Amino acid sequence: MSKRLPVALLGATGPVGQKVITLLEHHPQFELLEVAASEGSVGHTYGERVQWKNEIELPARVGAMKIKPLMDVQSHFIISALPADIAQTVEPALAERGHVVCSNASAYRMDPRVPLLIPEVNSSHLSLLSKQPWKGKILTNPNCSTVFLAGALAPLQALGAFEHISVVTLQALSGAGYPGVPSFDLIGNIIPHIGGEEDKIKLETKKILGQAETAAQFGVTVHVHRVPVTHGHTVAAHVQFKSPVNADAVTQIFAKLAQEKPNYIKLHTAHDRPQPLRDLQPHDMRIHVGRIKQGDRPDTIGFISMGHNLVRGAAGAAIAILEEYGKYSQ
């Protein structure tokens, strides 16, 4: 008999749900036993309903699973890949029943009782779980661009306090769900707007880089863009510190982390990297950083960070948070 912990997946047929399935297939600790989706999918097999868009084949075992209603799942651990408006009511109802819900949705990210986690950065925020009123728990992962900004900024806090951060994102198509943005709108084009995204990046970054109960204090200005890239969000960040900073020190910090935690930071030194098409792997959890430069001012540096929006930006992040929760709750 399997010793892995049973997991249920809500919103199993979307791009994030599909990536969760591929990542859990050989996971040493967790085993996917239940899939749930909308009413229209309930009762069908997963294979009948999903438009499978992954690099690896749909595991036959999962393809044969019957899709359940959201509230019928039994597994103690739940990964939610639901749209935010559905997550808003379903996630606390399941937490109330005692489940541990790890959510990709934005509904509870900014709730002061809910940890918004990048495990390598702010696992101390798990202390917020003691504030939750439910029998179970809700944990959340960041927006799929926030993680590449906050994850790269976190180690740079060792160089001093931030005054202001200017951010431009270039976000892939798979970040918009399936079928997402019509091809007529996106092929050969760039759309300089994604609803709600700029505020999410701004607020979530300050929550993640702050103390558990107090957001970090610095300015953030964000412009987001949807670009015709399949997977991989790129973030260009210019960081103004409160005191002078040296770009070489930034490179050294990333180089050290890349050695110590290769699943967290990948440092690129080539002048034309990182690139989504060339540098991402299907199960890539790395935050790829490069193009580190001194700004015109002695207190300002710039860098590019990039990563897989469905892996580090969603499914892989949710699984990493469940792993972290497992250590915390032991």
Catalytic-labelled residue, pool 144, 231, 268, 288: 144
Nearest residue to ligand NAP on Cβ basis = 14
Task: Please tell me whether residue 296 adopts helix, strand or coil conformation.
Answer: coil
CB of 272 to ligand NAP, least distance (A): 25
Question: Strand 265-267 to strand 219-223: parallel, antiparallel, or no bridges (unpaired)?
Answer: unpaired
Q: Which of 91, 107, 110 is closest to 99 using CA atoms?
A: 91
Q: What is the spatial distance between Cα 265 and Cα 300, in angstroms, rounded to a whole number?
A: 21
From residue 281, give the alpha-carbon distance in Å to each of 19, 53, 142, 172. Answer: 13, 15, 20, 15
Q: Is 225 a catalytic residue?
A: no
CB of 15 to ligand NAP, least distance (A): 4
Token pair in block for residue 94: 């399941």
Q: What is the spatial distance between Cα 116 and Cα 140, in angstroms, rounded to a whole number?
A: 5
Name which of 104 and 305 has its Cβ closer to ligand NAP: 104
Binding site for ligand NAP (CB under 6 A): 11-17, 37-38, 40-41, 49, 70, 81-84, 86, 104-105, 144, 174-175, 177, 309-310, 313-314
Name which of 209 and 317 has its Cβ closer to ligand NAP: 317
Name which of 235 and 314 has its Cβ closer to ligand NAP: 314
Q: What is the spatial distance between Cα 227 and Cα 234, in angstroms, rounded to a whole number?
A: 10
User: No. of H helices and E strands in the chain?
Assistant: 11, 12
Q: Is 102 a catalytic residue?
A: no
CB of 292 to ligand NAP, least distance (A): 26
CB of 82 to ligand NAP, least distance (A): 5
Task: Please tell me whether residue 93 adopts helix, strand or coil conformation.
Answer: helix
Catalytic-labelled residue, pool 99, 231, 233, 308: 233
Token pair in block for residue 322: 């469940």
CB of 150 to ligand NAP, least distance (A): 14
Name which of 15 and 276 has its Cβ closer to ligand NAP: 15
Amino acid at 239: V
Name which of 170 and 310 has its Cβ closer to ligand NAP: 310
CB of 41 to ligand NAP, least distance (A): 3
DSSP 179: S
Name which of 19 and 137 has its Cβ closer to ligand NAP: 19
Token pair in block for residue 151: 């994850």
Active site residues: 144, 233
